[in-house]
């Protein structure tokens, strides 16, 4: 902790303290105004968080100014912390996932406490893995990729910390809020208005940091990974702001009422929801793939042209696809038809990306065989191709009449989330950790191998269980007997789910075990690096520094 603070200039330390002081005052105001409302407890959390960090900054406040030589190196401290946070959130989010999966198989496996019920824990799982695990992974890797592909250092040392830590404050406020019953009920946009406003502030800082670093780049072209990271940052901002427009009951209430209602709200929500998949869980992670996969394979990207087609195809087409979540509902048919049509067209850019990734591995397949890290990325690309195909298929209206409202959707989401998002993340992290901590390799390549097989087995068990349960469910709901009446009651279909829910919890447990093994491996690598801290820098991984350090903005 002290080491990170002493890397900041004295001015940056002061800015950090001022921001933390302001934040703790906001927390205090929320706690005071929100007495008798869950808002009060959220205020205390903000206050404890910022005061705690204030102490951390103070502990290194009187360290001497950092050496000027830092300006000739990339600034990787926030990436390092981001990697650790990614692994922690992975374990938390996936553990809660296993917990809620178990609750569906054994509903009495709970306490008589509101916070422990399925409805409150489920968003902790979804937000924990999407925003906690996925978001931290994107932020951490984007800082790394942005600097390397621009051959420039981040413009200042405060903003990346503000983005990373501010984002984690958002995640903590969101997750603790769900347990207290604070939710907007909009799926994947559950956090209430004050958390949403805070995320906008953090996001603007993130976007500006990206632009400022690009402005300092020594490469004339912006590398393809950065296109994806930029699309992720920009479009998520647009989606987040529009979908979260709401009127709070008062400034002392956590509760708000969304600006839109009924059919317009449904369309806005699924425009958001589907594009959270597109721009958070796809675009950002494609950015990751486009950097770490060719790097690890030691091969250039197969086709620049395919990259262009898939990038603009995804950016344009995805935004039309959200209405496929609302087939046969009260949403006007013309919107449903547009959603279906564009969802099918989406297969082209999606497979262009997946194919581009796999073709990049030509000439490096022996590495895929020997290196579990690269294999993580290869399998991720395969699952990306499979789940985008499945997604286009499920968006076809008659198919959707069977799949919608069933576990098939859940299976599809997890084929993407476990098979694609988590796999590409773990692969990237296993590539990145040794670079960041200046090690030859991970603490144990054997454990990477163990993690790989646990993750793959867990994904397959999970997805097959949900395919089975979803299709059985959908068929039972629409089966008629010879007399022309419905053959099964709803309860019949639920009873039929029981074995699959057990299998699903088991698959999730395998995947979680893999994440625990991975976390241990990351921690042991870091520990070994600290033990050998005396080792010198290699000097190879440095930016091009034009002129003197005096040109650094914000210092």
Partner 1 sequence: MPEFFHRKIERNAIGFVVAIVAVASIGGLVEIAPLFTIHQTVEEAPDMRVYTPLELAGRNIYIREGCYACHSQMIRTLRDEVERYGPYSLAVESKYDHPMLWGSKRTGPDLARIGDKYSDAWHVRHLINPRDVVPESVMPKYGWLARNDLRIDDLGAHLVAQQDVGVPYTQEMVDNATRDAYGQATPDTDAASGVSERYGAATQVRAFDGDPARVTEMDALVAYLQILGRLTEAPYKQSAAAEAGE
Residues of this chain, 208-247, that bind partner 1 according to CB under 8 A: 211, 214-215, 220-222, 227, 230-231, 234-235, 238, 242, 246-247
Binding of partner 1 at residue 486 (CB under 8 A)?
yes
Residue 115 vs 365, nearer CB to partner 1: 115
Q: How many residues bind partner 1 (CB under 8 A)?
A: 100
315-334: contacts with partner 1 (CB under 8 A): 315-323, 325-332
Per the DSSP assignment, residues forming a β-bridge with 486 are: 480
Can you tell me the distance from the alpha carbon of 108 to that of 102, in angstroms, rounded to the nearest whole number? 10
Can you tell me the distance from the alpha carbon of 476 to that of 458, in angstroms, rounded to the nearest whole number? 27
Q: How far is the CB of 142 from partner 1 (least distance, A)?
A: 15
> Which of residues 35, 305, 446, 527 is near partner 1 by CB under 8 A?
305
Binding of partner 1 at residue 478 (CB under 8 A)?
yes
Binding of partner 1 at residue 339 (CB under 8 A)?
yes
Placement of tokens 């360290």 in the chain: 63
Binding of partner 1 at residue 11 (CB under 8 A)?
no
Residue 126 vs 521, nearer CB to partner 1: 126
Placement of tokens 């951490």 in the chain: 140
Binding mask 61-100 for partner 1 (x = CB under 8 A): ----------------------------------------
Binding mask 258-287 for partner 1 (x = CB under 8 A): xxxxxxxxxxxx-x----------------
The stretches of 34-157 forming alpha helices (DSSP H) are 38-59, 77-105, 118-127, 136-150
The DSSP string of 255-306 is -EEES--HHHHHHHHHHHHHHIIIIIIIIHHHHHHHHHHHHHHT---S-HHH
Closest CA to 58 of 89, 20, 22, 106: 20
| Cβ atoms of residues 34 and 40 within 8 Å | yes
133-162: contacts with partner 1 (CB under 8 A): none
- Stretch of 157-165, 167-175, 185-193, 506-514 lying at the interface with partner 1 (CB under 8 A): 185-193
Q: What is the DSSP letter of 500?
A: H
Reduced to 3 states, what is the DSSP secondary structure of residue 548?
Answer: coil
Binding of partner 1 at residue 414 (CB under 8 A)?
no
Q: Pull the structure tokens for residue 278.
A: 């597109």
Residue 218 vs 527, nearer CB to partner 1: 218
> Which of residues 105, 359, 457, 460 is near partner 1 by CB under 8 A?
105
Binding of partner 1 at residue 120 (CB under 8 A)?
yes
Q: Pull the structure tokens for residue 501.
A: 């829910």
> Which of residues 255, 299, 367, 439 is near partner 1 by CB under 8 A?
255
Can you tell me the distance from the alpha carbon of 176 to that of 168, in angstroms, rounded to the nearest whole number? 12
Binding of partner 1 at residue 103 (CB under 8 A)?
yes
Can you tell me the distance from the alpha carbon of 282 to that of 318, in angstroms, rounded to the nearest whole number? 10
């Amino acid at each position: 902790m002290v080491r990170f603070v002493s890397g900041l200039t004295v001015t940056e330390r002061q800015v950090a303290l001022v921001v933390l002081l302001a934040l703790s005052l906001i927390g205090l105001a929320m706690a005071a105004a929100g007495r008798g409302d869950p808002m009060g407890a959220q205020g205390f959390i903000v206050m404890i968080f910022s005061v705690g960090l204030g102490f951390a900054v103070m502990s290194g406040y009187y360290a001497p100014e950092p050496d000027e030589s830092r300006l000739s190196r990339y600034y990787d401290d926030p990436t390092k912390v981001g990697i650790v946070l990614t692994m922690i959130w992975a374990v938390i989010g996936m553990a809660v996932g296993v917990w809620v999966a178990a609750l569906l198989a054994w509903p009495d496996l709970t306490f008589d406490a509101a916070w422990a019920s399925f409805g409150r824990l489920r968003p902790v799982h979804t937000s924990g893995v999407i925003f906690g695990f996925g978001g931290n992974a994107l932020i951490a890797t984007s800082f790394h990729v942005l600097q390397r592909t621009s051959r420039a250092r981040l413009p200042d040392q405060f903003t990346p910390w503000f983005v990373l830590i501010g984002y984690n404050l958002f995640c903590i406020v969101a997750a603790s809020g769900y347990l207290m019953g604070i939710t907007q009920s909009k799926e994947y946009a559950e956090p209430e208005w004050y958390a949403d406003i805070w995320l906008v502030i953090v996001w603007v800082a993130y976007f500006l940091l990206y632009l400022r670093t690009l402005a300092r780049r020594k490469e004339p072209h912006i590398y393809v990974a950065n296109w994806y990271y930029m699309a992720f940052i920009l479009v998520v901002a647009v989606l987040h702001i529009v979908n979260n427009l709401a009127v709070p009951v008062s400034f002392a209430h956590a509760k708000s009422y969304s600006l839109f209602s009924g059919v317009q709200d449904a369309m806005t929500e699924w425009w958001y929801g589907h594009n959270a998949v597109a721009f958070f869980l796809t675009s950002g992670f494609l950015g990751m793939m486009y950097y770490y996969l060719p790097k690890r394979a030691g091969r250039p990207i197969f086709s620049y042209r395919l990259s262009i087609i898939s990038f603009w195809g995804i950016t344009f087409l995805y935004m039309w696809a959200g209405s496929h979540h609302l087939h046969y509902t009260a949403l006007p048919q013309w919107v449903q038809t547009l959603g279906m049509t564009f969802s099918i067209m989406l297969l082209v850019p999606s497979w262009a990306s997946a194919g581009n990734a796999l073709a990049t591995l030509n000439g490096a397949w022996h590495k895929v065989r020997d290196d579990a890290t690269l294999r993580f990325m290869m399998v991720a690309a395969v699952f990306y191709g499979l789940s985008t195909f499945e997604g286009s298929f499920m968006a076809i209206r008659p198919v959707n009449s069977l799949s919608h409202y069933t576990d098939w959707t859940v299976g599809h989401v997890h084929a993407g989330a476990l098979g694609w998002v988590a796999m590409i993340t773990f692969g990237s992290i296993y590539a990145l950790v040794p670079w960041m901590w200046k090690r030859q390799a991970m603490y144990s390549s054997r454990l990477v191998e163990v993690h790989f097989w646990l993750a793959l087995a867990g994904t397959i068990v999970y997805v097959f269980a949900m395919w089975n349960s979803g299709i059985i469910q959908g068929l039972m709901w629409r089966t008629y007997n010879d007399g022309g009446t419905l053959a099964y009651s709803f309860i019949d279909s639920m009873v039929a789910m029981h074995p699959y829910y057990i299998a699903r919890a088991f698959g999730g447990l395998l995947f979680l075990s893999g994440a625990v093994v991975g976390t241990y491996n990351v921690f042991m690598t870091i520990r070994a690096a600290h033990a050998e801290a005396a080792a010198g820098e290699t000097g190879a991984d440095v930016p091009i520094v034009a002129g003197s350090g005096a040109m650094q903005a914000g210092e």
